Amino acid sequence: MGSLSILTDWSVCAFCHADDHPTQHAPPRARPPARYGNPTGDEYSPMSRRTVLQGGHVLAFGGAPGTAADVAIADGRIVAIGSGLSRPEDIVVDAREAIVLPALTDIHTHIYWGATSLGVRPELVAHRSATGTFVDAGSAGAGNFEGLKTFIFEPLPFHAFAFLNISFPGIFGFSKRVMVGECCDMRLVDAESCIEAAQAYPEQIVGIKVRAGRKASGENGGAALEVALEVAERLNLPVMCHVDLDPPSIEEVLQRLRPGDIITHCCRPDPNAATENGRVRDAVWRARESGVHFDIGHGMGGFSFRVCREMLAEGFVPDLISSDIHSLSVNGPAYDLLTTINKMIALGVDQTTALAAGSANPAKVIGRPDLGRIAVGDEANVAVLKWRDEPWTFRDAAGEGLDVSTRLVCDRLIVKGRQIDPAGGSHPMQSQ
């Protein structure tokens, strides 16, 4: 894998909706066909009139500097970016005092809802988190990926991709009471099955996932990582490697990862953290220099304010910010991607860098840079964020609190040229 250029400039501060964290109650098992409110017939066109997002601070990425501008959308695509674009017949959305940027890409989620115990329904978090692209990180393996594609990805009004688990059944035993690691039995780790599945679904599978740690692999973490690397090398895909308790140690994992691979939970608390005695480990710096990408992967236990502060103090800013939402983290402490981005900004990462780490950077890593930019001719995948001034407390996986007075919330989400409502429904654009 070749290394990718990741955006890492520093600049402002941000945060997400309060009623923004509704509890995900277990819904009925059957889902109606019109689950996302997609219309039929002539109404299905993404937008019947041109829509102009007027006067926002546009973070287009893709090499374009942040600037005050209008963004015009027609027939589901970006048709113009500039000043004074609105015409009398346009739908005009007032985006003054707002940030207009690509809909976020959450590169570490678990959305195989209904088929795995850790899966959550992406539509329930999409709007509040400004997320238009969900990447499932290893919920499914070769044995059940077709179900993830058919029953979850295909009906979604969002973009969806996956890191295929190196273990044949994926993450099958994950709940408050049952924790059975998918690589504890190496009979489940079959390279050829994984390769066949990835070759069968090249549009959806963007990498290989391995959970190389004692909880997920017992004593087999190193062996499972070796198989994942072999498979990824043959497929020319990146590996996303989860690290928890050793074995293997974080140093052993980082020594094996290649340029373009991803280590997730990079700010996990001790033991096996990226820092030791308050300093970033040498192995972590060497991996960064070699082109390994560092991903937050917040989840239930993967993010420590203390470790993150220690890394930031030395100028080590993670390349990717992701939520690792699943059944045990979606109602806290992770909640969603925008909340995780807000935590990073509260810790001192500037707004532009943090938002790039949740949009342009992960979109590049999965080979879809078009989903991480706003450019004329591209499909419209856009989020509008606004500052909300109010006291708020964020918490990390260890329960430490971080008080803020302002945060970004999602005001509007457009995915595939259509407006996404707070319940995850997809509709033609409307003024507001």
Q: Are 132 and 160 in contact (CB under 8 A)?
A: no
pLDDT for 430:
67
- Could you list the beta-strand ranges (E) of 75-115: 77-82, 91-94, 98-102, 104-109
- The pair phi, psi for residue 395, each rounded to 5°, is -130, 145
Tokens of 388: 């909300």
The mean pLDDT of the chain is 91
Residues 6+ apart with CB under 8 A from 243: 212, 213, 250, 253, 263, 264, 265, 268, 272
Q: 156-190, pLDDT tens digit by residue?
A: 999 999 999 999 999 999 999 999 999 999 999 99
Q: pLDDT class for 71, splitting at 50, 70, 90? A: very high
Residue range 25-53: mean pLDDT, rounded? 51
Query: Distance of CA 198 to CAs 143, 166, 233, Å?
Result: 11, 11, 12
Q: Are 234 and 241 in contact (CB under 8 A)?
A: no
Its pTM stands at 0.91
Residue 278: count other Cβ atoms within 10 Å of its Cβ.
11
Q: pLDDT class for 23, splitting at 50, 70, 90? A: very low
Tokens of 271: 């033991």
Q: Are 402 and 396 in contact (CB under 8 A)?
A: yes
Of the listed ranges 7-11, 213-217, 294-298, the least confidently predicted one is 7-11
50 DSSP assignment: -
pLDDT for 29:
34
pLDDT for 346:
98
> Is pLDDT of 17 > 50?
no
* pLDDT over 90, % of the chain: 87
pLDDT for 393:
98
Q: Are 225 and 256 in contact (CB under 8 A)?
A: yes
> Is pLDDT of 14 > 60?
no
Residue 146: count other Cβ atoms within 10 Å of its Cβ.
13
Q: 359-416, pLDDT tens digit by residue?
A: 999 999 999 999 999 999 999 999 999 999 999 999 999 999 999 999 999 999 999 9
Q: Are 165 and 209 in contact (CB under 8 A)?
A: yes
Of residues 323 and 16, which shows the higher confidence score?
A: 323
Q: pLDDT class for 77, splitting at 50, 70, 90? A: very high
Q: 145-154, pLDDT tens digit by residue?
A: 999 999 999 9
Q: Are 74 and 112 in contact (CB under 8 A)?
A: no
Of the listed ranges 9-18, 64-73, 143-152, the least confidently predicted one is 9-18
Q: Which residues pair with 104 in a beta bridge?
A: 131
Residue 330: count other Cβ atoms within 10 Å of its Cβ.
25
For helices 191-200 and 221-235, the axis angle rounded to 10 degrees is 40
* pLDDT over 70, % of the chain: 88
pLDDT for 1:
54
